[in-house]
Amino acid sequence: MKTLTKSLKSQVLIGLALGALLVGSQTLAANSGQADYASNSTPETVSYKITDGYGEYSGYGATKNQAAGNARTACIMQKVAAYENRFGVTPDEDTADMFIDACINR
């Protein structure tokens, strides 16, 4: 299996974005409100915000890069969900690539 078809590629990218979103939200949930009892301080959470003509997407993480990645993942997932709600189908590979590019280049 040397190459993936475009459809499979876009489904893999969407799956990876969803997985990153889930891992980021689980990490945030695990870290929110819990104190590090050894040092008696709470872990710092960095936020990152993306705004475009369709909405505002926030991401949180231990570092700025994690927070930015989570915000971009939220952006992609929201665009895919809006497309599915509007048209009733998963976006084709070209449309999914446009969503990914639009969110990553913010």
Q: What is the pLDDT of residues 76-88, one digit of tens each?
A: 999 999 999 999 9
Q: How many CB atoms lie within 10 A of CB 74?
A: 24
Sign of the CA dihedral 68, 103, 9, 24? Answer: positive
pLDDT bucket at 106, cuts 50 / 70 / 90: confident
Q: What is the pLDDT of residues 2-12, one digit of tens each?
A: 444 555 555 65
Q: What is the distance between the alpha carbons of residues 84 and 40, in angstroms, rounded to a whole number?
A: 46
Q: What is the pLDDT of residues 25-55, one digit of tens each?
A: 454 455 555 444 444 445 679 999 999 888 9
